[in-house]
Structure 1
Amino acid sequence: MKKIIALLPFLLLLIVTACSNDEVTPQERFDQYVKHWNEHEFNEMYSMSTTVSTEKYAKEDYVERYKKIYGDINVNNLNITYEKLSEEKMETAMEKGTAQFPFSVEMKTIAGPITFDYKATLIKEGEEEDANWFVKWDPGFIFPAIKDGGEIGLPTINPERGEILDRNNLPIALNDTVHNVGIVPGKLGSKPEQAKQKISDLLGMSVESINNHLDAGWVEPDLFVPLKKVPKSEEKKLNQLWEVNGVTEREVTGRVYPHGESLGHLVGFTGPVTAEELEDIDSGTYSANDIIGKRGLELLYEEKLRGEAGVKITVTKENGEETVLAEKPVKHGEDVVTTIDADLQKRIYESYDGESGTAAAIHPKTGETLALVSSPSFNSNEMGFGISQSRREELQSKPKQPLLNRFTSTYAPGSTFKPITAAIGLHNGTIVPGEGVEINGLTWSNGEGWGNYQVRRVSESNGPVDVTNALVRSDNIYFAMKAVEMGSDKYVNGLKQFGFAKDFPFEYPVEKSTISSNGKLKDEVLLADTSYGQGEIQMSALHLAMAYTPFLNKGNLLKPTILAEAEKSQVWQEQLITGEQATLIQDALRNVVAAPNGTAKKAHIDELAISGKTGTAELKKSGEESGAENGWFVGYPTKDQDLLISMMIENTEDKGGSGYTVEKVTEILKAVK
């Protein structure tokens, strides 16, 4: 009994110590607060504020202010650290019911990193079991600069979009002053409806759309109501607009395309980013009012052209004093310099005179793309400054499909394909230079397996036909025979060496060229037809142009380039033919033009020696006697070999077939050489 009585003081001390150890310390409490803060749990933070703080700052204001500020400046990677109390300071804090914790805040924001130091005071509130530690909060916890008031601002500086230039540093897309045409409603005059109709006709927007602008809630009779931007180049239209009562303008900066329709498909246009586009791009990259590339080079090089907005996070006091918390300088967009020759592009486009077709012009020694033409086209200025739905529907319904980009599409190349078949045969030994084939009559069939089908040639030959004669006269039967002789496997392998059934190595997205619907030529009739550019073979105008580069580069097939900074003369496929074989094909292509029996005699002019190959792609359906035809010509200056044009014009059956295209290319080459 005495022993138990003696132990009582010790047991009581243990109980008291245990109770005191259960008491929450200010350090534990602040550690919990910091964890909520790092996780953006503002409701929980507020519940840990002192009574004085909650009386001064309502929960809604506290929580919403944090959310808005952190959201507006895109706070991420938030990290709060603090100094832990020493044992001595902890004892003092527990005794006095107050503790201080110096802390540091690090965060990343839309304008860059922000760091600051501040001090938190924790006060013990409540009695006995209900006692706890609470944070004495003020706005300095958000940023010290707003402790005593101040407005947080987020001024931005929009970047200038980079310009797109041609090979001569002439702009094909630039930032320039444009006329923002609009109406002062009170000055429309005594016949406002008549004035609106006139404006509607000139701006290509409906009267209903004009009225929608005028019916906006902010509109007053004497205020300027903007309708549409018009480039300075449309002087005639602008002069007509200035004559209409109530029409006026404001000069603004806009995207201008000085070459209009000729470069429409290639350069594309820009426009306001849509909600759908915002869903598909990285968060924070664009805002609802930003401009984005919609098509063509503007879309392809969007990331390089657009730049990055500059932004500051500021605090402005009542007296106007400004403190900058973080700043990201504006990064203007980069210019894109292309290999395109805008003058050549315009000349080729205008040669179509509204007819449908496509053309590619290259430098065959370097692989530089000099022109990519799709006709008819659209005006990038019209598309970029806001095209009405009715005008868009009008363009979409036109039979010649001006919104269709033909230079990215593939077509049957017709007889322009025969030099490729010749090269494949020369390389695998099926075709031997100077070795003739006896061909009689205008038609040929390889036996019963062909049924009633026959390959037809345009003219009969005098004696055996060799590869040179077959190219000059464009002999379908010769190439059909040679393709059948070499067989499907060898021929398909050769086509793949020329880039068929492979992704086309070009920055601008161009459809890959295809051999057939299944990539094979097991059917002998299809094999024969393919050899002279019919059957199911499909290729783009640019691929066709590049396919001629082995003939001018000792057998090497070059890659096309479109950026001026790109390495020149990049090889796509090496040694498809030997130098001697390349010379043989070159000589034949010259004789296609110069020889009396050549198919491109219209290109035989005194001013310039031209080499090339004609082609007529027949589009008739099975069983039809005749159908539409696409006329092709691939031509280049025989001596300089610094420009090669691959051109196709649709529906030439009543215009002289490929001869019609030969004349167009000849005139272009004569004009630029």
Structure 2
Amino acid sequence: MEDRRSIAKKAAIGVALVIAAAGAVLFYKNNIAMNPGDTLLKYMSYVEDGKYEKMYDLLNEESKKSISKEEFIKRNKNIYKGIGVQTIDADVTSKKRSTTVTYHVKMQTNAGIITYNNRTDFVKENHRYRIDWDDSVIFPQLGAEDKVRVKTLYAKRGRIKDAQGNALAVQGKIYSVGFVPGKMDGNSVKLAAKKLGLSKEEIQKKLDQKWVTDDSFVPLIKLKEYSKDLLNVKGIIVSTETGRIYPLGEAAAHLIGYMQNGEGKAGLEKLYDEQLSGTNGLEIYIEDSNGQKKQSLAVRSQTDGKDLTTTINSSLQKAIYEQYKNDKSAHVALNPSTGEVKALVSTPSYDAQAFILGMSQKKWNVINSDQRLPMQNRFKATFAPGSSIKPIIAAIGLSQNKFRANDDFGNSGKCWQKDKSWGGYYVTTLHDYNGHNLQNAMIYSDNIYFAKAALKIGKDTLKDQLDNLGFGESLKFTFGLNASSYGSEGFTSDIQLADSGYGQGKMMVNPVHMAAIYTAFSNNGNMLKPYLVKENGSKKQVLKETIFTKQAVNTVNEAMRQVIRDPSGTGHAANIEGVDLRGKTGTAEIKQSQTDTKGTEIGWFVTIMPATNNREALELVSMTENVKKRGGSGYVVNKTKKIMEEYLQ
């Protein structure tokens, strides 16, 4: 029995000795045996893991006297987190038991890889090696008064250019105007308000901010240009900085758009923001106590944005805008031989530059309360086309053999209905004339003829052909466009079908889509795809083949030619001697009923001009709202002539 107890006791003692030995070894390894090189590696592992308190625990007592734990944690955390340390690889290059440890560090940061060689001294305290720490442990060249800076290297935003290389949007010089309060006098606020178009309350609110001191620069507004007498206001300071400049101003605001906070918010600036923006870079460097760069640690270079070249003709864009700037209108000009968009205008417009410079509340209130809705992009919308749809209806009827150009539909006077089933509803027209064939009906813009034409085509055929032209689907284009339509349920009655023949009923057409359909009259019946941006491979592209027959195209072209040439033609006022213009007017009535006399009118004019010796071919689609009592579509015709004459100069 005693032998068994003795054996058990000895076994227990043996186990205890083994455990004690293991503990001693572990203690030795973790404390006494941890040599300087291993301590350095442990310290670096804590840096990677963001364990700043444990880093501090590895400092010797003398180092801890020079910097408190709170200060140490704050400085190291600000630096390592600020530069975005992701991984750290450290290799000891000296003997690990040497009290002066040399080592190599490779550090992955937000600005790329930082590598350096360093040396750090260690002292032994209570059987442990501890770091004799100063700021050079962070980076060899870092002093106690130095700072580690992270600087964004901003990418230069790409330019937006027209077809000739002229700038539509470019980085340029702008001016920041502000006050230095300590240099102001009693009249400064009043004078500045008057010269800058700001309210005294706006200025005072900026001056009353908590951070403002007598020596502060308090920004008030940014300007594209300024009058030199502004500097006569006591306390005003003007500084120069780089910002986005829009040379065409309001003439291209809906097309080009604008930026805010470095990001495209509308127009091409938004649609191509990623390409234009490029990629910002980053530099990490040491700055000395005088604010001078002492050493660059890592640089990730910026990648500047790419330029965007459009098909736009700046002169034409401005000419259209100047004619219509006081109207509610939309305009599309393109080369009908290629599909290149030469102008894209929406009026009224707004000052895109104000979003860069900083829009005052007063200016925003003016825009926001304007009932004409200047921020609305009208070339994206749809409108009742009126008689501008007639060449399309004619081309469909001829192409589908529903009637012939010389067919006389009969003289029905100025008021007509299919039969008594229409009750009190009549189609009306403005002119009496002889020979009710297609050409004469186009010259006089006879609603009754085209109502009859739509009925001859039939609801099923007209629906199929309009669908083939892209009605009911958004045209694939740089800008998202509202889809043209003829009624969500098709043609549900003969009245609606007849009205659709002259662009009323439920007909709604987008101006860019209208321009695309009309290209078929310049391409033997093939409809081209409009394009606005010159990209790799940009070229003439047929969107839909043979939407009209060649014979139908020739017939309709001659009729549109007479609309302008014939003295009785509704577009005759646009006639330019020696220029082979083709076109069609359109006046759409927007009213609640046939007897409504308070409704408004929309005026259209589509014009096609072939290439001349010094100008490429041009097709211009113009839509203007509220032309009632201003000449209807004639208002648009007169302005189109001025635009065409300027284009030909």
CA contact (8 A) 1:439 1:465 kept: no
User: What does residue 253 of structure 2 align with?
Assistant: 264
Which residue number corresponds to residue 112 of structure 2?
A: 112
**Aligned match of 2:414 in 442, 448, 451?**
442
Give the AA of the match of 1:484: L
Shift of 1:576: 1.3
Shift of 1:646: 0.8
Residue pair 1:50, 1:135 contacting (<8 A) in 2 also: yes
Show the counterpart of 2:495.
Answer: 525
Shift of 1:628: 1.0
Which residue of structure 2 lines up, in the alignment, with residue 205 of structure 1? 198
Aligned partners of 2:162 and 2:312 also within 8 Å: yes
Rounded to whole Å, the distance in 2 between the matches of 1:104 and 1:224 is 43
List per-residue Cα deviations over 1:583-615 (Å, max 9, x = no partner): 222222111111344221112232533111100
Q: CA deviation at 1:534?
A: 1.8
Structure 2 residues not aligned, in runs of 5+: none
TM-superposed CA distance for 1:437, in Å, is 3.1
What is residue 396 of structure 2 aligned with on the other side? 424
Q: Answer yes or no: is the 8 Å Cα contact 1:49–1:137 preserved in 2.
A: no
Paired residue for 1:498?
469
| Residue 375 in structure 1 maps to residue 347 in structure 2 | yes
Residue 559 (1) aligns with residue 548 (2) = no
Aligned match for 1:671, one of 641, 646, 649: 646
* Unaligned runs of at least 5 residues, structure 1: 84-88, 128-132, 274-290
Equivalent pairs counted in the alignment come to: 629
Tell me the distance in 2 between the aligned counterparts of 1:429 and 1:125: 105
Taking a change above 3 Å as real, the CA distance of residues 247 and 62 of structure 1, as seen in their structure-2 partners, is closer
Instruction: Read off the aligned partner of 1:154 and give its amino acid letter.
Output: V
Q: 2:157 aligns with which of 140, 161, 166?
A: 161
**2: CA distance, partners of 1:155 / 1:307:** 17
Aligned residue identity for 1:69: I
- CA-to-partner distance for each residue in 1:228-276, whole Å, 9 max, x for gaps? 22223x6xxx2563565554533433333232222222223333x2xxx
Distance 1:70 1:425, change over 3 A: farther
Q: How far is 1:347 from its partner?
A: 1.0
1:283-362 alignment runs, 5 A limit: 291-316=262-287, 322-352=294-324, 354-362=326-334
Q: Quote the offset at 1:430 in angstroms.
A: 3.0
Which AA in structure 2 matches 1:503? S
Q: After the TM superposition, which of the residue ranges 383-392 and 449-458 deviates more from structure 2? A: 449-458
Deviations 1:371-424 (A, max 9, x none): 111222222333431221122112222333333322222211211112222333
The aligned counterpart of 1:171 is 167
Task: Provide the C-alpha distance between the structure 1 equivalents of 2:60 and 2:399, rounded to a whole number of angstroms.
Answer: 91
In the superposition, relative to structure 1, how do residues 188 and 136 fare at CA in structure 2: closer, same or farther (>3 Å)? closer
TM-score by length of 1: 0.80
Following superposition, the deviation at residue 336 of structure 1 comes to 2.3
In the alignment, what sits opposite 2:481? 510
Instruction: Indicate if the aligned counterparts of 2:286 and 2:294 stay in contact, CA closer than 8 A.
Output: yes
Q: Determine helix, strand or coil for the equivalent of 2:525.
A: coil
Question: Any conservation in 2 of the 1:38–1:80 contact (CA below 8 Å)?
Answer: no
Q: Give SS of 2:265's match.
A: strand
Specify the alignment match of 1:214 in structure 2.
207
Secondary structure in structure 2 of the residue aligned to 1:314:
strand
Query: Alignment partner of 2:140: what SS?
Result: helix
Question: More displaced, 386-395 or 481-490?
Answer: 481-490
- Partner SS state of residue 347, structure 1: helix
Question: Against the structure 1 CA distance between its residues 57 and 481, is the aligned structure 2 distance closer, same or farther, given a 3 Å change threshold?
Answer: farther
- Structure 2 partner of 1:544: 514
Alignment deviations for residues 523-568 of structure 1 (CA, whole Å, 9 cap, x no partner): 4433332332222322332222222111111222222222233512
Letter in 2 for 1:635: T
Distance 1:57 1:208, change over 3 A: same
Q: Deviations over 1:126-183 (max 9, x none)?
A: 99xxxxx999696889855368755322133333333322222222223333343344
Cα distance in 2 between the residues matched to 1:440 and 1:328: 78
Name which of 569, 580, 588 aligns with 2:559.
588
**Match in the other structure for 2:243:** 254
Q: After TM superposition, give the deviation of residue 661 of structure 1 in Å.
A: 0.7
Q: Relative to 1, partners in 2 of residues 1:122 and 1:198: Cα closer, same or farther, differing over 3 Å? A: closer
Q: CA deviation at 1:616?
A: 0.4
Q: What's 1:277 paired with?
A: none
Deviation larger for 388-397 or 485-494? 485-494
Q: Which moved more, 1:644-653 or 1:218-227?
A: 218-227
**Percent identity of paired positions between Structure 1 and Structure 2:** 32
Paired position in structure 1 for 2:580: 609
Q: Quote the Cα distance in structure 1 between the aligned partners of 2:51 and 2:449.
A: 83
CA distance in 2, matches of 1:576, 1:142: 77
Structure-1 residue corresponding to 2:617: 642
The answer as to whether partners of 1:618 and 1:627 remain within 8 angstroms in 2 is: yes
Q: Which amino acid aligns with 2:306?
A: E
Task: Give me the whole-angstrom Cα distance separating, in 1, the residues matched to 2:293 and 2:383.
Answer: 67
In the alignment, is the contact (CA less than 8 A) between 2:403 and 2:456 conserved in 1? no
Quote the Cα distance in structure 1 between the aligned partners of 2:249 and 2:142: 56
SS at match of 2:412: coil
Partner-residue secondary structure (3-state), 1:155: strand
Please state how far the C-alpha of 1:666 moved relative to its aligned partner. Answer: 1.2
SS at match of 1:474: coil
> Residue 396 of structure 1: SS of its match in structure 2?
helix
CA distance, structure 2, for counterparts of residue 474 and residue 305 of structure 1 = 47
Render the CA deviation track for 1:67-101: whole Å, top value 9, x for unaligned.
Answer: 4334322344x365889xxxxx9xx99xx9x9x99
Q: Please give the per-residue CA displacement for 1:435-487, whole angstroms capped at 9, x wherever unaligned.
A: 44345233333446544322223334534534x44333323233333333444
Identify the match of residue 73 of structure 1 among 67, 80, 83. 83
Task: Report which stretch shifted further, 345-354 or 379-388.
Answer: 379-388
Between 319-328 and 584-593, report the one with greater CA deviation.
319-328
How far, CA to CA, are the matches of 1:529 and 1:105 in structure 2?
77
Q: Which amino acid aligns with 2:642?
A: E
1:64 deviation in Å? 4.1
1:365 and 2:374 correspond: no
Cα distance between partner residues in 2 of 1:6 and 1:270:
88
Structure 1 stretch 60-69 or stretch 142-151: which is displaced more? 142-151
Q: Which of 119, 138, 145 matches 2:140?
A: 145
Give the C-alpha shift of residue 33 in structure 1. 7.2
CA spacing shift, 1:473–1:318, aligned 2, 3 Å: closer
Q: Contact 1:589–1:612 (CA<8 Å) still a contact in 2?
A: yes
Q: TM-score under structure 2 normalisation?
A: 0.83
Q: What SS does the aligned partner of 2:359 have? A: coil
**What amino acid is aligned across from residue 259 of structure 1 in structure 2?**
L
How far apart, in 2, do the equivalents of 1:24 and 1:424 lie?
Answer: 94
Q: Is the 8 A contact 2:399 2:548 kept in 1?
A: yes
Aligned residue identity for 2:195: L
